[in-house]
Chain A
Amino acid sequence: MRVLVTGLGTFWGSRLAQELEARPDVEVVVGVDTIEPMLPLERTEFVRTDSSHSILQRIVEATQVDTILHTHLAVDSTKLSGRAMHEINVIGTMNLLAAAGAADSPVRKIVVKSSTLVYGSNYQDPYFFREETARTRGPKTGIERTLLECESFVRDFAEDNPHVLVTVLRFSNVLGDHMATPFAHALRMPAAPELFGFDPRLQFTHEDDVVNALMYTTTHDVAGIYNVAGDGLVTWSEVCRILGRPRVPLPPVLAGLAVEPLRALRVLDLPPEMLALLRYGRGVDNSRFKRTGFRYKYTTAGAVDAFARSLRLERAIGSAEPGYRYERDVETFFRHSPAVVRERR
Chain B
Amino acid sequence: MSDQWDEQAPTIRLREPDDLDVEATPQSTELVPVPQPEPEGDSALRRGDVDAWGRSERLREVARTVYDPMYSHWFRVEWEGLEHIPREGGALIVANHAAAIPSDAPVIMHGIEKELQRPVYGLAENLLRAIPMLGTLWSRFGGVPAHPDNAYRLLHDDKQLVLVFPEGTKGTGKLYRDRYKLNRFGRGGFVEIAMRAGVPVVPIAVVGAEESMPIVWKSPRLAKMLNVPYVPLTANMLLFGPAGLFVYLPAKFKLRVLPPVHFDVPPDQERYSRSRVMDEAEHIRERIQHALYDMLRARRSVWSG
Q: Are B15 and A301 in contact (CB under 8 A)?
A: no
B52: contacting residue among A216, A222, A223, A233, CB under 8 A = A233
Q: Is A133 an interface residue when CB atoms closer than 8 A count as contact?
A: yes
Residues of B within 8 Å of A294, CB to CB, are: 33
Residue positions of A touching B, CB distance < 8 A? 1, 19, 22-25, 123-128, 130, 133, 195-199, 201, 209, 212-213, 215-216, 219-224, 231-235, 237-238, 241-242, 252, 280, 283, 285, 288, 291-297, 299-302, 304
* Given A197-B132, A197-B135, A302-B44, A127 contacting B144 (CB threshold 8 A): yes
Give min CB distance, B173 to chain A, whole Å. 20
Q: Are B53 and A127 in contact (CB under 8 A)?
A: yes
Give min CB distance, A5 to chain B, whole Å. 15
Q: Is B126 an interface residue when CB atoms closer than 8 A count as contact?
A: yes
CA distance A216 to B19 in the complex (A): 16
Most chain A C-beta atoms within 10 Å of own C-beta, residue among B8, B21, B27, B33: B33
* Given A24-B25, A128-B149, A224-B1, A201 contacting B32 (CB threshold 8 A): no
Given contacts A24-B27, A128-B149, 10 further A-B contacts (CB under 8 A): A23-B31, A197-B131, A220-B16, A221-B17, A224-B1, A231-B45, A241-B47, A252-B132, A280-B129, A296-B36
Residues of B within 8 Å of A238, CB to CB, are: 46-48, 50
Q: Are B45 and A232 in contact (CB under 8 A)?
A: yes
Q: From residue 3 to 60 of chain B, which have CB atoms closer than 8 A to chain A?
A: 5-6, 8, 10, 15-17, 20-23, 25, 27-28, 30-36, 38-39, 44-48, 50, 52-54
> Chain B interface: which size bin?
35 or more
Q: Are A242 and B47 in contact (CB under 8 A)?
A: yes
Q: Is B133 an interface residue when CB atoms closer than 8 A count as contact?
A: yes
Most chain B C-beta atoms within 10 Å of own C-beta, residue among A124, A196, A215: A124
A19: contacting residue among B20, B31, B35, CB under 8 A = B31
* Given A233-B46, A295-B33, A302 contacting B145 (CB threshold 8 A): no
Main secondary structure of the interface of B (DSSP, over half): loop
Give min CB distance, B261 to chain A, whole Å. 25
CA distance A222 to B35 in the complex (A): 17
Q: Are B136 and A199 in contact (CB under 8 A)?
A: yes
CA distance A330 to B153 in the complex (A): 56
Residue positions of B touching A, CB distance < 8 A? 1-2, 5-6, 8, 10, 15-17, 20-23, 25, 27-28, 30-36, 38-39, 44-48, 50, 52-54, 126-127, 129-136, 144-145, 147-150, 153
Residues of A within 8 Å of B50, CB to CB, are: 201, 235, 238
Residue of A nearest to B50 (CB): A235
Residues of B within 8 Å of A209, CB to CB, are: 33
- 10 interchain residue pairs of minimum CB distance: A197-B132, A232-B45, A126-B149, A197-B133, A126-B147, A212-B33, A123-B130, A123-B129, A252-B132, A238-B48
Q: Are A127 and B145 in contact (CB under 8 A)?
A: yes
Residues of A within 8 Å of B6, CB to CB, are: 291
Residue of B nearest to A128 (CB): B153
Q: Are B136 and A198 in contact (CB under 8 A)?
A: yes
Can you identify 11 A-B contacts, CB atoms within 8 angstroms?
A22-B27, A123-B126, A124-B147, A126-B147, A201-B54, A221-B17, A231-B44, A235-B54, A241-B48, A242-B47, A301-B44
Q: Are A198 and B135 in contact (CB under 8 A)?
A: yes
Give min CB distance, B227 to chain A, whole Å. 13
Give min CB distance, A254 to chain B, whole Å. 13
CA distance A52 to B33 in the complex (A): 32
B22: contacting residue among A25, A234, A285, CB under 8 A = A25
Give min CB distance, B243 to chain A, whole Å. 23
CA distance A291 to B47 in the complex (A): 26
B32: contacting residue among A199, A219, A242, A285, CB under 8 A = A219
Give min CB distance, A227 to chain B, whole Å. 13
Q: Are B31 and A232 in contact (CB under 8 A)?
A: no
CA distance A127 to B157 in the complex (A): 13
Residue of B nearest to A19 (CB): B31
Q: Are B8 and A124 in contact (CB under 8 A)?
A: no
Q: Are A288 and B2 in contact (CB under 8 A)?
A: yes
CA distance A242 to B48 in the complex (A): 10
B145: contacting residue among A22, A123, A130, A212, CB under 8 A = A123
Residues of B within 8 Å of A285, CB to CB, are: 153
Give min CB distance, A213 to chain B, whole Å. 8
Give min CB distance, B31 to chain A, whole Å. 5
* Given A233-B46, A241-B48, A291-B5, A219 contacting B31 (CB threshold 8 A): yes
